[in-house]
A and B are shown apart, each in its own frame.
Chain A
Amino acid sequence: MTFLDAAVALIFNAILNGAPLMFGTMGEILTEKSGNLNLGVEGMMYMGGAFGIAGAYYYGRMAGENASGALAILIALLFAFLAGAFGALIYSFLTITLRTNQNVTGLALAILGTGAGQFLGEYMRIREGGYVAVSIALKDQFQNPVFPAFLQNIPVIGKIVFGHNLFVYLGIVIAVLMTVYFKKTRWGLNLRAVGESPATADAAGINVNRYKYLATVIGGGISAIGGMVYIMTIAGGVWNHEGLAGEGWLAVALVIFCLWRPLNALWGSALFGALMILYMRVHLPIPDEIYKILPYVVTVVVLVITSMRRKKEDHPPESLGNAYFREER
């Protein structure tokens, strides 16, 4: 294998492995733009993974031979989204309506979500005789590239640009849509105002709670899709005990790394994806464990570097983490 081939394979796999992170990060960006710091990403992704595979698996069993790949993907997306949105709804009710502490609530959601996801996954596994995996045909639908072969056969860039499964491109579409939403639309502007200065938004006639609820719930749903993508593509459409290997926590860090910009999440998640698989691809005479801690080391380094940022635009939303009390009337 030439060096070029190895590089292409590394980049391709980095993007593939970064896809779940991409969803987790983008969902959390949307949430944090509303001023809510939801640390429960891991929990929501876990639920998304468990419910996503449950939806695809049971649909596959019911439909049997005639199972449609498109429908299976839609069901998995929908189940994952709803599971994450439900988790985020609990979080929203607690932090927005009851004004509980966002950090504590987020951590509780992380524990609740992993517990609920683990419970569902194990319950299915035991009921189905110790093994839950979608059929090979359906699995292929989740994992196969969406573009025709001749595009993928373009040298070097063919595989990197056109060789991915559906979810990578879905993620790119979501990132672009989110960027347009934040930068070009009235509602995006209002949402940013809510996250920056809810009192100002309130005085301008913006319904602060509605924006916070919607952004947090939809953000939670998007994050949860990441969990489903992990289980259905990287984990091979099989429920295992490993869960998500802490991707949700990485996503929270990646949000800071990306400076709350969805487009940065695209290459940011690919970079982290590369760090996660480096031990399989680059062989240096060091233990695998060193490779495996790389994403976390990079996170620490990035947090230190970004804390030194000077530009105001690179700062977190000003009221991130604060509950909004309307002043006494």
Chain B
Amino acid sequence: MDTTCAVRMEEVTKTFGPVVANDRVTLEIRKGEILSLLGENGSGKTTLMNMLAGLYFPDSGRIFVNGKEATIASPKDAFAHGIGMIHQHFKLVNVLSAAENVVLGLEGGALLDIREVSRKIREIAEKYGFSVDPAKKVYDMSVSEKQTLEIIKLLYRGAEVLILDEPTAVLTPQETEKLFDVLRVMKKDGKAIVIITHKLHEVTSLADRVAVLRRGTFVGEVAIGETDAAELTNMMVGRQVSLNIDRSEPENTAPRLKITDLTVVDDEGVTKLDHVNFTAFGGEILGIAGVAGSGQKELLESIAGLCPVKSGEILYTPEGKKPSNLVGKTPMQIKSAGVAMAFVPEDRLGMGLVGGMGMVGNMMLRSWREGGGAFVHHKDPNALAKKVMDELEVVTPDVNYPVRRLSGGNVQKVLVGREIATAPSVLMSAYAVRGLDINTSYTIYNLMNQQKKNGVAVIFVGEDLDVLLELCDRILVLYDGKVSGIADARTVTKEEVGMMMTHLGKGGEADA
């Protein structure tokens, strides 16, 4: 075995129920090297690294640390083996200072010597070129400072292998550069570093070696000097698969939503959408592609009025009516103007449905205003629920059966069915087929196509490129909150879309 090998994973498999997250993955992490773990959303990168960090335990396979077989069953075990991971969601206590967060949970004497801890923190900071104030409270810190603190926490515990899960997702370009400098110093110091990312330019500028995962399997690894972005993209997205989704030619298209210079900044001050420009037409399906967190959520929410817009314009033109700007309108006004959103977040019940209520109750969430006085109308929602149940083949014992107890696919049908029933002129859906079986997925595709034929402007945010390529008419690719490109879904290749997802393309000029 290579003497510089820090950690070796052999034939590691992890399943969650029927889903295989990692299938016999073999990976080597070396000292004094930055390894980049590359892959699309859901390709199993984070799961694989969570097994090293002690959050998950592999179903089968072996892990070697410094050549010796190791069992890592908890984060404590991982620390003991010198492995530390920085997750996307920081694990810090807000009201405690940096130094207090660092010593949290460590063994030692009863009395804390915060001064000594602070001295050691400064020592580490000096060695690797961090800037940190040990007395600063976490709630006063910027995102980048919090990340620095997480790294120091690991170094303080003597970590030799550092795993960073998409560390740059929350950073500004300047902060990213600073982080990379620190990582390079740590590499020189002999630490083994793994960085999970799907931004290709970061991979090429930072890493020494790239390992690519696709759908839970190990595709291959290359040294950074022997490859280029095109090859890496091909490894990431794989070959195009034919799905045979019916797709009609768009008819009678008319501009429905014209978005100009839309910019959204979140509470942390991070720019989530940066001067986004595009037009969605009635009678076509506009697909939105991009790696997770590129601004898809913010885009849909700002159109629906749920997310404050910093600048820009959303011009909405209903059929035969005058255009109006949606920015500044309440969600209720936007909805009644005919913009429907069937947003399916990670937990399907999170937004849009009330788990404890039946189909009828959930239908009423849209129509409760139409009742007479204090009483709601039950008859119409009841009929609507029955209609949705029959037409979309929702499997439920009764229309009043709590939707929480339905299977995921049926929940999604209820959600999409209700939104379509409002006869919208813009239908937005996000991850509408996530976790669904093939047949149910096709039912949803057909629903989208039906809406398109009715002249609705359908915006379909998806993760599966094969689906986007076959279902949509045009695909808009978001990268880091910017429009990386808009392509004709009939002619573009999967590789081209993949490149746009990982690289900033020419921008929104393709808007035609």
Contact = CB atoms under 8 A, between A and B. Distances in A.
Contacts of B106: 186, 204
A25 interface: no
Interface of B: 55-57, 74-76, 79, 91-96, 100, 103-106, 108-112, 137, 139
A189 to B, nearest CB: 6
A186 B105 CA distance: 8
Contacts of B56: 329
> How would you classify the secondary structure of chain B's contact residues: helix, strand, loop or mixed?
loop
Contact of A197 (B79, B93, B137): B93
A205 B105 contact: yes
A193 B93 contact: yes
A206 B75 CA distance: 11
Nearest to A313: B95
A279 B114 CA distance: 48
A192 B79 CA distance: 22
A201 B112 contact: no
A308 to B, nearest CB: 18
B315 to A, nearest CB: 41
A313 B137 CA distance: 10
B55 A196 contact: no
A200 interface: yes
B85 to A, nearest CB: 10
Contacts of A93: none
A193 B112 CA distance: 15
21 contacts: A185-B110, A186-B106, A186-B112, A189-B96, A189-B100, A189-B104, A192-B96, A193-B93, A193-B105, A196-B95, A200-B91, A200-B93, A201-B93, A201-B104, A204-B91, A204-B106, A205-B76, A312-B139, A313-B95, A315-B95, A329-B56
A192 B109 CA distance: 17
B48 to A, nearest CB: 15
A189 B97 CA distance: 11
Nearest to B55: A329
A200 B137 contact: no
A215 B104 CA distance: 18
Given A185-B111, A192-B95, 10 more contacts: A187-B110, A197-B94, A201-B104, A203-B75, A204-B91, A206-B104, A206-B105, A312-B95, A318-B94, A329-B57
A318 B104 contact: no
A199 interface: yes
A184 interface: yes
Contacts of A318: 94-95
Nearest to A196: B93
B29 to A, nearest CB: 21
A201 B75 CA distance: 11
Contacts of A313: 95
A200 B105 CA distance: 10
A189 B109 CA distance: 13
A204 B74 CA distance: 10
Nearest to B76: A205
Question: A-B pairs with the 3 shortest C-beta distances?
Answer: A204-B105, A200-B91, A205-B76
A190 interface: yes
A199 B104 CA distance: 12
Contacts of B104: 189-190, 193, 200-201, 204, 206
Contacts of A196: 93-96
Contacts of A190: 104-105
A184 B93 contact: no
Interface string A165-187: 00000000000000000001111
Nearest to B87: A203
Contacts of B74: 205
B103 A189 contact: yes
Interface string A140-161: 0000000000000000000000
A204 B92 CA distance: 10
B46 to A, nearest CB: 13
B5 to A, nearest CB: 27
A185 B103 CA distance: 11
A189 B112 contact: yes
A206 B57 CA distance: 19
Given A206-B104, A312-B137, A312-B139, A200 B92 contact: yes
Contacts of B79: 205
Contacts of B111: 184-186
Contacts of A203: 75, 91
B435 to A, nearest CB: 15
Contacts of A205: 74-76, 79, 105
Contacts of B92: 197, 200
A184 B93 CA distance: 17
Interface string A306-324: 0000001101001000000
B162 to A, nearest CB: 15
A200 B89 CA distance: 10
B163 to A, nearest CB: 14
Nearest to A185: B110
B112 A185 contact: yes
B118 to A, nearest CB: 14
B17 to A, nearest CB: 11
Contacts of B109: 186
